[in-house]
């Protein structure tokens, strides 16, 4: 089962934000008083890299975020309110011209069909929910999904990068037709991500 933005309402997983939580206080300043409204507001924020991902409030400072910072924020907000059924997931999917059309010129330039990309999303009752962008859902990438693990919100920085690069190292070792080193392949991936922020 796949779904997107309305899952909290459909499963009745909504709650009034605890006014004593650090993250909840930021939402309350904006007049957002419940979890469902917080989720919707985060999804509508622009996709952009944050200046200091380690800062749990960087979404508010930068008025936008990535799959990592947006979903880590929501995970932390759920934890703040003692709702531990919401899980933060780190998955790998094959980013290609079908699921991410903007990167096609980069893939074509380097003669690639896809690049394995690390992606964060939430899981609730074993269902994937993705709030990276407006009108974005798990359906955008699930058929190209490779693997996933559950992580903590604090692991979206160094741990995520190391996990992703280790995956790419093993991937390249098995793909003799790809003539790029890990360093070059990572740079190509950076070019792809840059196109998504335009």
pTM flag (> 0.75)? yes
Nearest to 143 by CA among 7, 2, 47: 2
Chain Cα centroid distance, residue 105: 23
For 135-188, the pLDDT digits (tens) are 766 676 778 999 999 999 999 999 999 999 999 999 999 999 999 999 999 999
For 108-118, the pLDDT digits (tens) are 999 999 999 99
User: Hey, where are the domains in the chain?
Assistant: 7-80, 87-196
């Amino acid at each position: 089962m796949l779904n997107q933005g309305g899952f909290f309402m459909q499963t009745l997983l909504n709650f009034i934000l605890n006014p004593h939580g650090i993250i909840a206080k930021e939402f309350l300043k904006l007049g957002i008083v419940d979890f469902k409204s917080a989720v919707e507001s985060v999804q509508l924020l622009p996709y952009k890299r944050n200046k200091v991902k380690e800062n749990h409030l960087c979404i508010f400072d930068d008025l936008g975020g990535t799959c990592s910072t947006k979903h880590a924020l929501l995970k932390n907000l759920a934890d703040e309110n003692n709702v531990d059924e919401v899980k933060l997931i780190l998955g790998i999917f094959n980013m290609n011209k079908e699921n991410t059309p903007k990167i096609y010129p980069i893939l074509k330039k380097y003669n690639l069909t896809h690049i394995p990309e690390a992606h964060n999303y939430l899981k609730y009752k074993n269902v994937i929910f993705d709030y990276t962008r407006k009108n974005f859902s798990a359906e955008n990438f699930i058929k190209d999904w490779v693997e996933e693990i559950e992580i903590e919100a604090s692991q979206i920085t160094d741990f995520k990068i190391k996990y992703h690069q280790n995956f790419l190292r093993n991937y390249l070792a098995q793909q003799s037709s790809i003539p790029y080193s890990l360093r070059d392949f990572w740079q190509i991936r950076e070019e792809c991500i840059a196109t998504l922020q335009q």
